[in-house]
Amino acid sequence: MGKNIINVTDQNFNNEVLESELPVLVDFWAPWCAPCRMIAPIVEELANEFSGKLKVAKLNTDENFETATKYGIMSIPTLAIFVGGEVLDGVVGAVPKQILKDKINSILLKAATKIN
């Protein structure tokens, strides 16, 4: 896992994601999931590109089924963008980097507009 990606669990999800001052992209994944492995390098690139503006977290759904269940994760990978403790956007499946980047930029623009 890259230096700009944190590992979240059922135990630290509230603190790391829901209470985060920054928007958080959460990658719900599992080690056996081929599409999850395909999208992992893209998630890492985004973590580096948006460092300081966006927190990027990975949650292993096999080990943390309580959180995955709470958010209705039925398919993986699911990438959800949390702002202020709520899911504002996301995608299911391995999607092109530009789609994720556009969603992140949209969320960051909305967040900046609310602050100013």
Q: Which residues are catalytic?
A: 33, 36
73-84 burial: b if 16+ Cβ within 10 Å, else e: beebbbbbbbbe
Beta bridge partners of 59: 28
Nearest by Cα to 50 from 27, 73, 22? 22
Angle, in degrees to the nearest 10, between helices 34-49 and 97-115: 40
How distant, in Å, are the alpha carbons of 3, 10, 11, 23, 116 from that of 90? Answer: 23, 20, 22, 12, 24
